Structure 1
Amino acid sequence: MNRIEQLFQQTNNNILSVYFTAGYPNLNDTVPVIQSLEKNGVQLIEIGIPFSDPMADGPVIQASGTQALKNGMSLRLLFEQLSDVRRSVKIPLVLMGYLNPILQFGFEKFCAEAQRCGIDGVIIPDLPFGEYLESYKSVAEKHGLHMIMLITPETSDERIRLIDQNTGGFIYMVSSASVTGAKTAFGDENLQYFKRVNAMNLRNPRLIGFGISNKTTFDAACENASGAIIGSKFVSLLGSEKSLDKAVEKLIKSITNG
Structure 2
Amino acid sequence: MNRLNQLFKNTSKPILSIYYTAGYPALESTLDIAEKLEQAGADFIEIGFPYSDPLADGPVIQNSSQKALENGMTLHVLFEQLKDLRKRVTIPVLLMGYVNPVLQFGVENFCKACAEAGVDGVIVPDLPMYEYEEMYKDYFIDNNLTNIFLVTPQTSEERIRKIDGLSNGFIYLLSSNSTTGKSTGISGDSETYFSRIQSMNLENPTMIGFGISDSTSFNKAAQYTRGAIVGSAFVKFLDTENALNQIPQFISEIRG
> What TM-score comes out, normalization by structure 1 length?
0.97
Q: Distance in 1 between matches of 2:2 and 2:111?
A: 15
Identify the range of structure 1 (88-97 vs 182-191) with the bigger mean alpha-carbon deviation.
Answer: 182-191
Deviations 1:212-253 (A, max 9, x none): 00111101111110000000000000012323121x134224
| C-alpha contact 1:182 1:213 (8 A) present in aligned 2 | no
| C-alpha contact 1:48 1:96 (8 A) present in aligned 2 | yes
User: What are the residue-to-residue correspondences of 1:1-258 with 2, within 5 Å?
Assistant: 1-181=1-181, 183-246=183-246, 248-257=247-256
Deviations 1:111-137 (A, max 9, x none): 000000000000001011111111111
3-state SS of 1:37 partner: helix
Structure 1 segments, 4+ long, off by >3 Å, are: none
| C-alpha contact 2:54 2:62 (8 A) present in aligned 1 | yes
3-state SS of 1:240 partner: coil
Deviations 1:159-214 (A, max 9, x none): 00100011111101111111111644211110000000000000000110000001
Q: Distance in 2 between matches of 1:24 and 1:55?
A: 19
Deviations 1:96-120 (A, max 9, x none): 0100011101111000000000000
| C-alpha contact 1:20 1:234 (8 A) present in aligned 2 | yes
| C-alpha contact 1:182 1:212 (8 A) present in aligned 2 | no
Aligned-residue offset at 1:80 = 0.5
Q: Which letter does structure 2 place at the counterpart of 1:207?
A: M
Q: Distance in 2 between matches of 1:100 and 1:24?
A: 20
Identify the range of structure 1 (174-183 vs 100-109) with the bigger mean alpha-carbon deviation.
Answer: 174-183
> What TM-score comes out, normalization by structure 2 length?
0.97
Q: Which letter does structure 2 place at the counterpart of 1:251?
A: F
Q: Distance in 1 between matches of 2:100 and 2:113?
A: 17
3-state SS of 2:31 partner: helix
| C-alpha contact 2:14 2:227 (8 A) present in aligned 1 | yes
Q: Which letter does structure 1 place at the counterpart of 2:205?
A: P
Q: Distance in 2 between matches of 1:124 and 1:18?
A: 16
Q: Which runs of 5+ in 2 are unaligned?
A: none
3-state SS of 1:239 partner: coil
Q: How many residues are paired up?
A: 256
Identify the range of structure 1 (161-170 vs 9-18) with the bigger mean alpha-carbon deviation.
Answer: 9-18
Q: Distance in 2 between matches of 1:33 and 1:73?
A: 15
3-state SS of 1:73 partner: coil
3-state SS of 2:17 partner: strand
Sequence identity percentage? 52
| C-alpha contact 2:172 2:209 (8 A) present in aligned 1 | yes
Aligned-residue offset at 1:87 = 1.4
Q: Distance in 2 between matches of 1:122 and 1:231?
A: 16
| C-alpha contact 1:147 1:168 (8 A) present in aligned 2 | yes
Aligned-residue offset at 1:140 = 0.9
| C-alpha contact 2:181 2:211 (8 A) present in aligned 1 | yes
Q: Which letter does structure 1 place at the counterpart of 2:248?
A: E
Q: Which letter does structure 2 place at the counterpart of 1:171?
A: I
